[in-house]
Amino acid sequence: MNIFKSTVLVVGLILTFGLPSTTFGQNNNLMDSLSYSVGLMLAQNLQQQGISDLDSESLKQGLMDVIDGNDLKISLEKANSVIQEYFAKKNMAQFEENVNAENDFLTANRKKEGVVETESGLQYKVLEAGDGPVPTATDRITAHYHGTLLDGRVFDSSVNRGQPATFPVNGVIQGWQEVLQLMPVGSKYRVFIPSRLAYGERGAGDMIGPYAMLIFEIELLGIE
């Protein structure tokens, strides 16, 4: 559940049932227990969402402004934007190691003999030069490929499966789309795809994490 929606749900419960004026203790009544339980739910939800460094006074003020009908210091739309920005920065910090590793690799790799870098930042090296036609974005192609992460782990490989893949050029990640339209049939390229031309901050599956760059060896076998 979205953290903003979860918070609104909890605040809605508080608005419905109110907050007790007494301190929660052994002689609590139903409303004491309910209010305390709502607090537990809110705190647990925040922790599950990865928020553990909130200012308790500001949190309390936000709750009370809604409950008491006070003028809000920021709008609910702005609050949602702030929360999304927080998670974006937290996500970026969490995967900063991936970003740095990608930048270091590409900086060194572009200086290597035979490596070509395009305007988008895609890098490739021709392993075998073909002399066939070059596909367009609307073509379907057949290719063998072997995909690895920077640490060498294989995440997908038609070569290992022993079966080439057929798909539309415009149906794959941006880095693939770009390089396929540079490759004559019969070519084999090693391709270094920055994360922004692959799966970016989302990642894909269990192995391709956020901000992971990908390395492929692609052999273009034919155009349908």
Which three-class secondary structure state does DSSP give residue 93? Answer: helix
What's the CA gap between 24 and 98, in Å, rounded? 46
Cα separation values, 209 from 11, 98, 119, 200, Å = 34, 9, 25, 9
Closest to 106 measured CA to CA, from 125, 128, 121 = 121
What's the CA gap between 192 and 115, in Å, rounded? 10
The DSSP secondary structure of 13-66, one letter per residue, reads HHHHH---SSPP-TT--HHHHHHHHHHHHHHHHHHHTT-----HHHHHHHHHHH
Q: Which two tokens stand for residue 200?
A: 């970016």
Please identify every residue annotated as catalytic: 145, 155-156, 173, 199, 216
